Structure 1
Amino acid sequence: MGQCSPIIVRSAPPRCGQQECRSLGCRLMTYPPPYQYPGGVSDKSKVVAGVLQIVLGGFGVGRFYIGDTKTGVLQLVVTLVTCGIGSLWGFVDGILILMNGGVDAQGRPLRD
């Protein structure tokens, strides 16, 4: 009961069918390097999404661009119900996308 089961940590993706990995004695929490993402980086740009969201955020255009249709429709409905006041949400959302980035519909980070 005092022994840990070994796990495999990869330093780089295997090449040509050969696995380059090392075994650890105990379970450790490992994370991919910050420059690598499991699903890759999105083909959508955070600059385009942010600018669309700032200019047409009341209609949720930036959210539709990145594939987040639920939030896009919700922003559109809020803007229509509040007679345009809800478009402030889209404006602030656009600034946050430009500053922090975001993810597309598949959960991949937006490219710079």
Structure 2
Amino acid sequence: MFCRNCGTEMNENAVVCVKCGCDKEKGTSFCPHCGKETNANADVCLSCGCSLKKEGSKSKMVAGLLGIFLGSLGIHNFYLGYTTKAIIQVLLGTGGWALFFMGPIVSGIWGLVEGILLLIGKINVDGKGNALKD
């Protein structure tokens, strides 16, 4: 994570930048994902392609719980905007019975693992590159 005000690399748990003292949510001059300078009015970073919009962020807790309880259907991936991955999970979870009943089991384990990774913070962005809120 990088400071949006000065571009200095920050700890993921930091509240303010140690270099400039700016709140981690403030600033529009640098990309929080790659640290490259951006236009203050840009919607997307031209260096890494991630979204620079802060509004509309999704909850880690909601996504994690959806992954744990409905992960075999890919609901958490639909919620986060990973549509392709979600469709693969739906097809594997519902039509995978043709693979000797392994499809739903594999899809369920996949969803459970992703749900846990979401809750512990290893997956921390949605499908558009926006940071997930706690």
TM-score class, shorter: 0.5 to 0.7
**How many percent of aligned residue pairs carry the same amino acid?**
33
Query: How far did residue 78 of structure 1 move?
Result: 2.1
Query: How far did residue 108 of structure 1 move?
Result: 1.3
Query: Number of residue pairs matched?
Result: 87
* C-alpha distance in structure 1 between counterparts of 2:128 and 2:88, whole Å: 19
| Alignment match, 2:116 | 95
What pairs with 1:51-70 in structure 2 (closer than 5 Å)? Answer: 51-70=65-84
* TM score, norm. by length of structure 2: 0.55
Letter in 1 for 2:64: G
What pairs with 1:1-112 in structure 2 (closer than 5 Å)? Answer: 12=5, 31-34=8-11, 35-36=24-25, 37=32, 39-41=52-54, 43-80=57-94, 81=96, 82-86=102-106, 87-100=108-121, 101-112=123-134
Higher relative contact order structure (alpha carbons within 8 Å, sequence separation ≥ 6): 1
Letter in 2 for 1:79: G
| Alignment match, 2:42 | none
Letter in 1 for 2:125: V
* C-alpha distance in structure 2 between counterparts of 1:11 and 1:109, whole Å: 13
Letter in 2 for 1:89: W
Change (3 A) 1:78 1:32: same
Query: How far did residue 53 of structure 1 move?
Result: 0.8
5+ long unaligned stretches in structure 2: 12-23, 26-31, 34-51, 97-101
SS of match in other structure, 2:132: coil
Q: Between Structure 1 and Structure 2, which shows a larger proportion of strand residues? A: 1
Query: How far did residue 11 of structure 1 move?
Result: 8.3
After superposing on structure 2, the runs of 4+ consecutive aligned residues of structure 1 that deviate more than 4 Å are none
SS of match in other structure, 1:85: helix
